[in-house]
Amino acid sequence: MRNERIYTDLYCATPPCSGGIVALAMGAIENALLDAKAKGSAWPVYELLGGRIRDRIRVYWSHCATWRINHPAHYKPAITDLDGVKAIGREVREKGFTALKTNIFLYDKDGKNARGWRPGFGVPFATRAQCRTRRAAQSGHASRSAARRCRTGCGHPCSI
Q: Kindly tell me if the per-residue pLDDT of 151 is higher than 80.
A: no
Average pLDDT, the chain: 79
Longest CA–CA separation in the chain, Å = 63
Cis, peptide link before residue 77, omega less than 30° from 0: yes
145 confidence band (pLDDT: 50, 70, 90): low
Contact 148, 85 (CB under 8 A): no
Rg (CA), the chain: 22
State pLDDT tens for residues 83-134.
888 899 899 989 988 888 888 777 787 778 877 776 665 555 555 555 554 5
pLDDT at 137: 47
How do residues 16-61 score in pLDDT, each as one tens digit? Answer: 777 788 888 988 999 999 999 999 998 888 888 888 888 888 888 8
Instruction: Give the C-alpha separation, 98 to 155, whole Å.
Output: 9
Contact yes or no for 81/142 (Cβ under 8 A): no
